Amino acid sequence: MRIKLSIQIHSGFSALSSNDVLLYKKLVLPFIPYIGMNYIDEFDEYEVNAVYFNSDSEITVYLKSDMMFYNKAREEKNFLGSDYSKTKEFKERIQEYIDAGWEKK
């Protein structure tokens, strides 16, 4: 089955920001992932958050968001205006995903 994994990388303390990065990875699997299942690749372990059956015979699987920078902003109590998207650390994190086979949307 054609599967498209999708993950959101938070750039700060917000549910959705235009500075967040959305990544995807296309796979062929012999089964349909289910909510709560863990998917493991060479980069990390991810939890399946939602599964959608698309009309184009592809299944989109949304993984639990990468909360690294969201949590960093929370720990620093930097709630308003937190944006790590321009930092070297954020760019390196995105590059780690890309090196592991993820692509930008």
pLDDT at 93: 94
pLDDT at 27: 92
Pairing of strands 45-53, 59-63: antiparallel
Q: Which residues fall within 8 angstroms of residue 12, CB to CB, at 6 or more apart?
A: 19, 69, 70, 73, 78, 81, 82, 83, 84, 85
Residue 25: which of 11, 37, 39 has the closest Cα?
A: 39
Helices (H) and strands (E) in the chain, counts: 2, 6
Kindly report the pTM of this predicted structure. Answer: 0.86
pLDDT at 26: 94
Edge-to-edge order in the sheet of strand 103-104: 38-40, 45-53, 59-63, 2-9, 21-28, 103-104
Q: Where are the domains of the chain?
A: 2-104
pLDDT at 95: 96
pLDDT at 65: 94
How many C-beta neighbours within 10 Å does residue 73 have?
A: 21
Residues of the chain with pLDDT under 50: none
Give me Rg for the CA atoms of the chain: 15
